[in-house]
Amino acid sequence: MAPAHDLIDWLFAQQLQVDEEWAVRDEQGFTWWADRQAQRVEVRESHEGGADSDSSPHFLLSVRTEFLCQLELTDQAAVTINSCLLPYAALCGPVYDAEKKTLELCSLVRVSEEVTPFLKRAVSLACLLQIEEARVLGPGVAQVLMAHPTVSGHPEHGLREDPDALARGLLDVLSPHAYLPCPITGEDFEEAVETFMQEPPALSATAEDGFSVEFPFGRDSSSFLSAIPNKGHPRYGQGLLLLQSFVAPLMDEAEGARLALLFNEAELTCAPLGYGLGSYHYLDGVLHFASFLPNLLLSPEILPHLYYAAAHRARELSCGLTRSHPGETSPGPAPGSGVEAGEVERCDWCGGAICPGNAMITVNRHIEQIDVDEEHTEGIVTVIQADVVLTLCAGCGNGLNTDVIREMLMEAERE
């Protein structure tokens, strides 16, 4: 956990230069008030890797900033969020909490033990952009959605009267780079395509005004990633627009908007499928993940990382939206689960989202019939009816004691 705490300390003391009077620190990170919205920066979990793991050691770093409260997610509100907020995400996305009726701005990144300069810059800029958007966009968006901007204060010092210098000066940080040409040249894009994108997982790739790459998605579809340089953002000037698309179930605008928000919750609070720096939005049967990297973050060295992150997202969402990885033959959700393709499932114990591609544990009730014939002399089982009794995330399910459950069921029968 040392690299995680080192990054937290660097953000707190050096990059954000947090005023300790307006902060609360704990073992996992810190909460601070740059203005009148709390921002939480913390290590969410750590994975050690090792011989039995298919991933190298890494940790998840979460940044969340208060945005709106008292928000009823009506169909009209969902459609408005999907059309006015989600497509213009930079390094964070909105996440709705149905129980608290709040909308927060969230970013979540997977960081290896060797923290790259790009990720350090990206995480620190995500902190600043969340503060900026909560301060500047919050009141207007709240009015449109008939909600309220979230306002909170330090537990000891109350509301902050004078915003932190960083809260007032974000555009000054970006402005020296905002209207310069993209630091990544056409030759850089061509080299990245030729070096990294001419073999699997890419199906095809071209370098023309940035790059476009096609990934396998499901059994008979594709996911496309476009990286478009010199793209202007309404607030942050020039940068690199990343837009990745996935075929999704066709549904009406409100259902599509809710699907995008569910995937935001999964990727930006649970487990990032690539870099959790951006937002999903839904349009005409296609789910998009959009991210905008201001010029300040750009260098040729990041292109392979962006490519492999998108490849991972395509593979994992292939399971989440079509319920099958390329080459597999089991489309659709589990029988009796009540979950349609494209939905994010939830843990029955903790209520958390079960992220696309992640493991889950289910307890099922089957009505089965065993038949024997010449071809199946040892018997063949036909499942007549399947009901999912309990669905758990991996964290909760790992604590499930099957011996105890069996004993409880046996006791129930005796009673």
Whole-number Cα distances in Å, 3 to 43, 113, 114: 10, 6, 8
Give the Cβ contact number of residue 288 at 10 Å: 19
Q: If we measure between CA atoms, which residue out of 194, 193, 101 comes closest to residue 150? A: 101
What domains, with CATH codes, occur in the chain?
Answer: 2-322 (3.30.1460.10), 345-414 (no CATH)
Residue with tokens 């999704």: 248
Q: If we measure between CA atoms, which residue out of 61, 63, 41, 306 comes closest to residue 193? A: 306
Sign of CA dihedral 293, 297, 303, 309: negative
The order of strands in the sheet holding 211-217 is 204-206, 211-217, 221-233, 237-247, 286-294, 279-283
Give the Cβ contact number of residue 160 at 10 Å: 20
- pLDDT at residue 324, rounded to an integer: 37
- pLDDT at residue 5, rounded to an integer: 84
Per-residue pLDDT of the chain (415 residues; tens, 9 = 90+): 577 888 999 999 999 999 999 999 999 999 999 999 999 999 987 665 443 344 566 789 999 999 999 999 999 999 999 999 999 889 999 999 999 999 999 999 988 766 678 899 999 999 999 999 999 999 999 999 999 999 999 999 999 999 999 888 887 888 888 889 999 999 999 999 999 999 999 999 999 899 999 999 887 889 999 999 998 888 888 999 999 999 888 889 999 999 999 999 999 998 888 889 999 999 988 999 999 999 999 999 999 999 999 999 998 888 666 543 333 333 333 333 333 334 456 677 655 666 655 667 888 887 877 877 777 777 777 666 677 788 877 656 665 667 667 766 776 666 5
- pLDDT at residue 272, rounded to an integer: 87
Return the DSSP state at 22. G
Give the list of residues 6+ apart from residue 118 with CB closer than 8 angstroms, or none. 297, 299, 301, 302, 305
Residue 194 has, within 13 A of its CA and on its CB side, a CA count of 7
Return the DSSP state at 343. P
- pLDDT at residue 195, rounded to an integer: 96
- For residue 205, list its beta bridge partners: 213
- pLDDT at residue 385, rounded to an integer: 65
